Amino acid sequence: MKFSHAWLREYVSLDEAPVEIGRRLTAAGLPLEGIAQPDAGDPDSAVYDFDILTNRPDCMNHVGLAREASALCGRPLRVPGPRVPPGGKATGSTVSITIDDTDLCRRYSARCLLGVSVTESPRWLRRRLESIGQRLINNVVDATNFVLWEMGHPLHPFDFDRVAHHRIIVRRARPGETLITLDGIERRLLPDTLVIADGRRPVALAGIMGGQASEIGPATRNVLLESAWFDPVSVRRTSKALGLHTDASHRFERGADPEATVRALDRAATLIAELAGGRITDPAVDVHPNPEAPRRVPLRPDRARVLLGYDPGRDAMRSILGSLGFHIDETDPARWEVTVPSYRRDVEREVDLIEEVARQKGYGAIPSLLPLLPDGSGGRGAEDRLAGRVRAALLASGLSEAINFAMSDREELLTLAPDISPVPITNPLQSQSAFLRTSLLPGLLHNLAHNLNHGGVHCHLFEIGRVFAPEGERPRESDRVAAVLAGRGLPEHWSLPRREVDLYDARGCVELLAGQLGISFLRFSSDRITAGAPISGLRLMAGASDVGVVGEVSARVLRRFDVDGRAFAFEIDLAALGAASARERRFTSLPRFPAVRRDLSLLASDPIGVPAIEAVIRAAGRLPIAGIEVFDRYVGPGVPAGCARVAIMIVFQHPERTLEAAEVQAAQEAIVAALQERLGATLRKDL
Amino acid sequence: MQSRVQDVRRQFDRDLEAATDPVSLSAVRLRYLGRKAGLVTGLLKDLRAVPPEERASLGQAVNDLKTHVEAALKAAGPGSREDVPSLSALELSLPGRAQRPGIPHPITQVRELIEAIFLEMGYSLESGPEVESDYYNFEALNIPPHHPARDTQDTFYVAGGMMLRTHTSPVQIRTMERRRPPLKMVAIGKAFRRDSDPTHSPVFHQVEGLVVGDGVAFAHLKGTLEHFCRRVFERDLVIRLRPSYFPFVEPGAEYDISCTFCGGGGCRPCKGSGWIEIGGAGMVHPAVFDHVGYDAERYTGFAFGLGIERIAMLKHGIDDIRLFYENDHRFLEQFTA
């Protein structure tokens, strides 16, 4: 918001350079965004750009900002006091004003100016308004704009002869009513819109914009000047609904000063009479059915010390509040009674008064301490710890971490998670992110495409993040971990042959993850993935429940993401992993007796089904088995079709004695016989 | 036959000792384990002719021999000690071999740094849903419907009046509802605003801090922020608080640090001001305490917030926030932990 240095100096003496004024106001909570000074030698040419926050509509004008500067610099504020020459025609006999909806319009003040001549504004006024970037219209409109930027109260002038029956009614719009606003757009008025109507129809959107029909133009002879107070919520609603934001609506929706209407009206009326001639009707009409009593807020000076952590001192509090227009009653020295000026609608409580003191003194005066406060609960939650362990395991397996948006494209989500209808965002920024994600994979597949399209030879990424499923009024949120692997396999080294990633890379990550989390009953089940699934491979089971999937991304899905080649992926529910994860690790005594290793080379039907082989071996083994490992698999020339050659290592180990060679041999033979009988696997004799 | 087994074993040990290069090693392998004429293979075949009562012990002996032969050949083969070339035969300037770990996302790295700082000060880490109700995201934070402050938080809505949280501040409310003072908490997570340019992402990460107890004052907020900023940026910087407005705090502030690039003299990143904006903070507004049923007379508290992306951008000199969400390996690999 733009402010002129010269204009501010009308109301307070400012000897400091504009940069210094900007610095002081910034330190008091009125942040300076920039200063332009076209004439380097003339401080009066300086124009400030302040970011006036929503709670300070009282500073959105030169007098308001000058008040802050006067308090900061300790110099008096000079507020213009207009004098309307008495004795003209009575306003009340000229115009009739009624407020139908007093809930939305608390006060309406008006005067007429009869016999004006609408022309260009004089040079001084043009310069004032142009310096802060305001458009010039004509002397009448410019005068109301000047008052807006001088004392902050928005006014509206009507061409009085276009106000039917010389009647003003402030009321809600009726069904079907429309209004062509000053910008030439015909507006359909919603039932709750507050309008200013004349004897026939709406002539203005209350507090936002006037109507074209009663616009001030060169032919205007008589002016009706409105100065009113409109309800912030009502103005804001209408302004939002119509997409119409104006200098007036900006102030009304933040809270204008109901006590300022007549003062602003008189200021504008005298200015117009001066610039455009005309007689001011007098006295003003002032419809103000329920005046508000001034707000009184208690202030315990000691509370300031408690809240701020230092004592600003009673003298400072007294002088700061006084110079900002607050009145203090110190009858009870421990509990002051502070009367809040009507333009400070943001000050409602004791803390607000304490903030006034703190910001005017400057936050630099506040000491710097550390709280000594115990927090019994402390530390990280279980979910956080789990995510950390999952992240560490996947980083260790060579995957890097990705973070993607929680929103995604509907079709992409349905491609990866066909069974869940994603929750839509009602006002998305773009269609690619218009639905809450039901899977982490679309984001990771986009990352894959991005990497490959930018010359990457591989992509090894995982993400830990939240997915959303529709459920009642609030979507159900759950955390997942997912990864996508493609391109060259890891590790890469000049001494190693290059290879492409395959299913075992993805599966290996999951196994390592399960191992790190101490999960013993995560099972890989290959029998539940239907043909044509987006990820074909293995289901991950914890007990009887599905917790995720690991496999190859289907060619159909990859085409959708513009990825050439092959890609492998997994996605697992984090809560399920957490539930399956070991709470604590139990120590097992180290074996005291030697292990005996036996290798078997089998010809078995393919696929072999490692869990089935292990189950048969354990059942038939007779002796305690410490480990079973398939350490080779061969399919190709020399092996009959439909079969595979499989090498299995079995480690026998007894906790209480050394095993005899003969009993190991017998156990091995029993195992071979069982494998033959149960699985049709035969011992290879041709080694 | 037992003696034949002994003979073959002795013979093998001699042959293996004589074989010093890969070619002769493979000849030894063929001589003993060859499919047709291998000596150990022959013993295994001959086992079939042995009477059943001897077969068990003899079989064991032959099996042990086979294990011995295989293990010895393996030990002598490539990769074994004898096979490692001497230093003089190596190209020492070639890179070494290692299992390289992946890289945590830079946002995670900053997040973990911030978590560690607050955990050390005894804070608890809290969290909440990403889809929030109007009550938690706005109303309980003293931002009633039609409050102009809602303008600055362009909100994504989902059906049923729910929204994607525009800040992590709702976690304050959820935590205060669950617990009584004294409490010190930090919540870190995603937040969402309809805004997209080089410094604003529609999805970003926020840190929310809250301390409530007896006698918690603005001075404690200042000290906490100062300690935190010094730890995050690993330097002895100066902090500045400026009055500002957030409906859920009063007094409210924005806080800046002395520019980490120029030290306060003024440069491009700080736009010549010598200060860099970090976040917002203030004393918890009594209306917020009213919403969660805390006695605003007895307890006071402070709250603060900041964006993780902004910290990461400042720490690493990243100029476009969108880079965080492309997950380009060339970007990530610059942040090896």
Number of structural domains found in chain B: 2
Q: CB neighbours of B82 closer than 8 A, spacing ≥ 6?
A: B20, B76
Please state the rounded mean pLDDT for residues A493-512: 92
A425 contacts B157? CB cut-off 8 A: yes
Question: Sign of the CA dihedral A408, B199, B259, A34?
Answer: negative
Boundary residue ending a domain (B34, B61, B89): B89
Whether residues B178 and B277 share a domain: the answer is yes
Interatomic CA distance for residues A85 and A221, integer angstroms: 20
Which letter does DSSP use for residue A607 in this model? Answer: S
Q: Is residue B101, in this structure, part of any structural domain at all? A: no
Strand order in the sheet with A96-99: A96-99, A167-172, A194-197, A202-205, A209-210
B131 touches chain A (CB under 8 A): yes
Q: Which of B45, B105, B154, B179 to probe the A interface (max A CBs under 10 A)?
A: B105
The alpha carbon torsion through A632, A637, A642, A648 (nearest 10 deg) reads -20
Whether residues B74 and B212 share a domain: the answer is no
- Stretch among A57-71, A418-432, A539-553, B43-57 having the lowest mean pLDDT: B43-57
The number of CA neighbours under 13 Å toward the Cβ of A82 is: 22
The model's confidence at residue A677, banded by pLDDT at 50, 70 and 90, is: very high
A406 contacts B164? CB cut-off 8 A: yes
A454 contacts B222? CB cut-off 8 A: no
B158 contacts A400? CB cut-off 8 A: no
Boundary residue ending a domain (B60, B89, B118): B89
- Determine if the peptide bond prior to B269 is cis (ω within 30°): no
Please state the rounded mean pLDDT for residues A264-287: 94
Could you count the other beta carbons within 10 Å of the beta carbon of residue A17? Answer: 14
Q: Which residue has the higher pLDDT, A567 or A622?
A: A567
The model's confidence at residue A453, banded by pLDDT at 50, 70 and 90, is: very high
Amino acid at A355: E
Contact between residue A263 and residue A86 where contact means Cβ atoms under 8 Å apart: no
Predicted local confidence at residue A91, as pLDDT: 83
- Return the ∠ at Cα B8 (arms to B4 and B13), rounded to 5°: 150
Interatomic CA distance for residues A57 and A249, integer angstroms: 11
How far is B251 from chain A, CA to nearest CA, in Å? Answer: 5
When CB atoms are compared, the residue of B105, B126, B242 closest to A403 is: B105
How far is B19 from chain A, CA to nearest CA, in Å? Answer: 22
Is the pTM here over 0.80, yes or no? yes
The alpha carbon torsion through A141, A142, A144, A146 (nearest 10 deg) reads 170
How far is B256 from chain A, CA to nearest CA, in Å? Answer: 12
Contact between residue A84 and residue A110 where contact means Cβ atoms under 8 Å apart: no
Model ipTM value:
0.88
Whether residues B115 and B72 share a domain: the answer is no
Whether residues B192 and B120 share a domain: the answer is yes
Query: For residue B121, what are its two tokens?
Result: 């000060």
A494 contacts B95? CB cut-off 8 A: yes
Q: Is residue B95, in this structure, part of any structural domain at all? A: no
The number of CA neighbours under 13 Å toward the Cβ of A18 is: 26
Q: Is residue B337, in this structure, part of any structural domain at all? A: no
* Chain A contacts in chain B segment 307-326 (CB below 8 A): 324-326
Boundary residue ending a domain (B89, B115, B143): B89
Q: Give the end-to-end CA distance of chain B in Å, rounded to a whole number.
A: 64
Predicted local confidence at residue A687, as pLDDT: 42
Which residues of chain A does B33 touch, with a Cβ-Cβ cutoff of 8 Å? 687
Whether residues B241 and B136 share a domain: the answer is yes
The model's confidence at residue B83, banded by pLDDT at 50, 70 and 90, is: low
Whether residues B317 and B178 share a domain: the answer is yes
The model's confidence at residue A530, banded by pLDDT at 50, 70 and 90, is: low
Please state the rounded mean pLDDT for residues B89-99: 87
Whether residues B245 and B147 share a domain: the answer is yes
The pLDDT tens digits for B157-210 are 998 889 999 999 999 999 999 999 999 999 999 999 998 888 889 999 999 999
B203 contacts A407? CB cut-off 8 A: yes
Q: Is residue B117, in this structure, part of any structural domain at all? A: yes
Q: Is residue B257, in this structure, part of any structural domain at all? A: yes
The pLDDT tens digits for A99-156 are 999 999 999 999 999 999 999 999 999 999 999 999 999 999 999 999 999 999 999 9
The pLDDT tens digits for B204-241 are 999 999 999 999 999 999 999 999 999 999 988 889 99
Q: Which of A234, A346, A363, A484 to probe the B interface (max B CBs under 10 A)?
A: A363
Predicted local confidence at residue B255, as pLDDT: 95
Distances in whole angstroms, Cα of residue B291 to Cα of each of A8, A375, A519, B41, B210: 42, 22, 43, 85, 15
Which letter does DSSP use for residue A425 in this model? Answer: B
Residue B79's domain comprises 2-89
- Stretch among A87-96, A232-241, A266-275, B107-116 having the lowest mean pLDDT: A87-96
Bridge partners (DSSP) listed for residue A285: A110
Distances in whole angstroms, Cα of residue A139 to Cα of each of A8, A117, A269, A541: 22, 9, 12, 80
The model's confidence at residue A686, banded by pLDDT at 50, 70 and 90, is: very low
Which residues of chain B does A490 touch, with a Cβ-Cβ cutoff of 8 Å? 100
Query: For residue A601, what are its two tokens?
Result: 């080379």
When CB atoms are compared, the residue of A383, A394, A597 closest to B127 is: A383
The pLDDT tens digits for A233-261 are 999 999 999 999 999 999 999 999 999 99
Choose among B240, B179, B248: nearest CA to B208: B248
Contact between residue B198 and residue B254 where contact means Cβ atoms under 8 Å apart: no
Q: Is residue B94, in this structure, part of any structural domain at all? A: no
Whether residues B39 and B122 share a domain: the answer is no
Q: Is residue B23, in this structure, part of any structural domain at all? A: yes
Bridge partners (DSSP) listed for residue A535: A553
Residue A200 has pLDDT above 50, yes or no: yes
When CB atoms are compared, the residue of A56, A355, A461 closest to B327 is: A461
Which residues of chain B does A496 touch, with a Cβ-Cβ cutoff of 8 Å? 97
Bridge partners (DSSP) listed for residue B190: B205
B124 contacts A29? CB cut-off 8 A: no
Share of chain B above pLDDT 70, in %: 97
Q: Count CB pairs under 8 A between chains A and B.
A: 281
Whether residues B171 and B133 share a domain: the answer is yes
How far is B123 from chain A, CA to nearest CA, in Å? Answer: 6
Interatomic CA distance for residues B277 and A73, integer angstroms: 26
B39 touches chain A (CB under 8 A): no
The model's confidence at residue A215, banded by pLDDT at 50, 70 and 90, is: very high
Share of chain A above pLDDT 70, in %: 98
Q: Which residue has the higher pLDDT, A556 or A89?
A: A556
Predicted local confidence at residue A67, as pLDDT: 97
Q: Which of A49, A55, A300, A430 to probe the B interface (max B CBs under 10 A)?
A: A55
Query: What's the distance, CA B334 to chain centroid?
Result: 15
Query: For residue A509, what are its two tokens?
Result: 């990550």
Whether residues B85 and B127 share a domain: the answer is no
Q: Which residue has the higher pLDDT, B59 or A484?
A: A484
B216 touches chain A (CB under 8 A): yes
Predicted local confidence at residue B80, as pLDDT: 52
* Chain A contacts in chain B segment 259-298 (CB below 8 A): 283, 285-286
- Pair type for strands A178-180 and A295-299: unpaired
- Return the ∠ at Cα A519 (arms to A513 and A523), rounded to 5°: 90
- Determine if the peptide bond prior to A283 is cis (ω within 30°): yes
Residue B22 has pLDDT above 90, yes or no: no
Q: Is residue B74, in this structure, part of any structural domain at all? A: yes
Q: In terms of CA atoms, which chain A residue is nearest residue B161?
A: A473
- Return the ∠ at Cα B83 (arms to B78 and B86), rounded to 5°: 150
Question: Sign of the CA dihedral B268, B269, B270, B274?
Answer: negative
B185 contacts A451? CB cut-off 8 A: no
Strand order in the sheet with A476-487: A400-401, A458-469, A476-487, A567-573, A545-553, A535-542, A522-525
| Helix, strand, coil % in chain B, rounded to nearest 5 | 45, 20, 35
Whether residues B67 and B116 share a domain: the answer is no
Q: Which of A253, A351, A353 to probe the B interface (max B CBs under 10 A)?
A: A351
Residue B82 has pLDDT above 70, yes or no: no
Interatomic CA distance for residues A23 and A30, integer angstroms: 9
* Mean model confidence pLDDT for chain B: 89
Whether residues B203 and B132 share a domain: the answer is yes
